[in-house]
Amino acid sequence: MKQVLKAIAVSSLLLSGGSALAQNANPYGWESVPEKSGQIVMKIGHSVNMEWSSHTATLKRFAELVSIYTNNEIRPELFPGAQLGGEREMVQQARQGALQVTLPATNNLAALAPSLNVFILPYLATSTEQVNYLQDELTPYLVPRVIKEAGVRIVGWENSGWRAFFYKSDKAIEKPADLADLKMRVPPNPIMIASYEAWGGNPTPIAWSELYSALQQGVVEGGDNPVTDVIGMKFNEVINRMTTFHYTILTHPIVVSERWFQGLSEEHQAAILRSGKEATDYIRWWQPLDEAAWWEKAREAGVEITAIEDESEWIEKARAIWPDYYDAIGTDGEAVVNKALEVLATYPGDK
């Protein structure tokens, strides 16, 4: 039993980038396994530079699995912290084959692959289990579309958790009318902006990198993001409240350059696809456990947390915008939405 526990502990350190392993305690971890002749380099770029993020956990797991399943014939190299550019830039690099793997936010990839805007529709799904089911069942339908639109192939998914309102205010957000007096930051996605407008809010598109100073200076009073981002980025220093609801989950597809993928052997392609599926399964187990700890950190930091118990008004107003944004999902956007609804109708948890 002690040997099993020790093995689990070593594995956990490897996945988290533990400092002991980084100092060659395990010289044959995937990051330090010796190079060999004929290796294929797989560059992985993403925008986050925090070891605590689910982005990092997902990509490290994916990289490790690719290394294992190809017997070190593909060598992953991680480039975090936007070293290779912004998320849209990295997708363009992947289209060209200069970058092999990246993990953009779905709303950012949707700027290049409009079909993915179907996942941005507010209240399309209302539980984590529904979102996971929709990703699993709808992605095969979307893969050829996304390849045509953006030149990348979706091989897996990372879910960062439900977006929650975070803000500085004397009163809690509980109903849509409560947004009227708050300037809220949103990503530059038309459907997300329209959702706030449908609720009577004041959406203000601001780059993520500029958000802390915007909150500090009062340019905006809040925004919405998973708790891991809010507390991990120390927004609790400039906000005092959070409100939970279920209008959309922040998701990031694991995408692979289609040009690069088609140049691989069938065995290596199979390894990439298997690694993407297993990395998805892993983060779906890991993320909720991690998120619970971040909510506890939020409470310890003095953030007052409110849960919207009845979301019916939010749902009614948000879903009313759907027909106005079918075109944002592509030339046959309504068909894509109907396909998603067909999938959700078969979700076994609702039977």
Same domain, 224 and 327: yes
Residue 345 corresponds to which tokens in the numbers above? 């109708």
Position 26 scores a pLDDT of: 67
Q: Is the pLDDT of residue 22 over 90?
A: no
Mean pLDDT over 13-27 rounds to 46
Q: Examine residue 1 and state whether it is found in any structural domain, yes or no.
A: no
**Residues 340, 311 within the same domain:** yes
269, 121 in Cβ contact below 8 A?
no
- The answer to whether residues 211 and 319 belong to one domain is yes
pLDDT above 70 for 23: no
Quick one: 258 and 340 in the same domain? no
The predicted structure's pLDDT at residue 35: 86
**pLDDT at position 3, please?**
42
Q: Answer for the pair 179, 201: CB distance below 8 angstroms, yes or no.
A: yes
Kindly tell me the sign of the dihedral angle through the C-alpha atoms of 68, 69, 74, 76. negative
Comparing CA positions, the residue from 154, 351, 161 lying closest to residue 247 is 161
Whether 241 and 255 share a structural domain: no
Sign for the CA dihedral angle at 51, 56, 57, 63 comes to negative
pLDDT band for 350, please (50, 70, 90 cuts): low
Do 57 and 175 lie in a common domain? Answer: no
What's the chain's average pLDDT? Answer: 91
In a domain, 19, yes or no: yes
Task: Please measure the distance between the N-terminal and C-terminal CA atoms of the chain and give it in whole angstroms.
Answer: 41
Q: How confident is the model at residue 2 (pLDDT cuts 50, 70, 90)?
A: very low
State the average pLDDT over residues 13-29.
49
Residue 269 pLDDT class (50, 70, 90 cuts): very high
| 3 in any annotated domain | no
Please indicate, yes or no, whether residues 95 and 38 belong to a single structural domain of this protein. yes
Task: Give the pLDDT score at 48.
Answer: 85
- Please indicate, yes or no, if residue 5 is contained in any of the structural domains: no
Give the alpha-carbon dihedral of 55, 58, 59, 64, to 10 degrees: 160
Query: What digits encode the pLDDT tens for the residues 208-223?
Result: 889 999 999 999 999 9
Q: How confident is the model at residue 8 (pLDDT cuts 50, 70, 90)?
A: very low
pLDDT band of 141, cuts 50, 70, 90: very high
CA distances from 24 to 3, 14, 34, 119, 149 (A): 20, 11, 12, 42, 42
Structure confidence at residue 7 (pLDDT) = 39
289 and 150 together in one domain? yes
**Per-residue confidence (pLDDT) for residue 51, from 0 to 100:** 79
Whether pTM exceeds 0.85 = yes
The distance between the two most distant Cα atoms of the chain, rounded to a whole number of Å, is: 63
**Predicted pLDDT of residue 31:** 82
**How many structural domains are present in the chain?**
2
Do 281 and 139 lie in a common domain? yes
**Structural domain span for residue 120:** 10-159+251-294
pLDDT at 188: 87
Residues 127 and 54 in one domain: yes
Q: Does 108 lie in the same domain as 214? A: no
Evaluate whether residue 4 is within a structural domain. Answer: no
Question: Is residue 16 situated within a structural domain?
Answer: yes
| pLDDT (mean) for 42-48 | 93
For tokens 């100092």, the residue is 23
CA distance 78 to 44: 5
In a domain, 287, yes or no: yes
Same domain, 120 and 61: yes
We report the CATH number of the domain holding residue 209 as: 3.40.190.170
pLDDT at 18 over 70: no
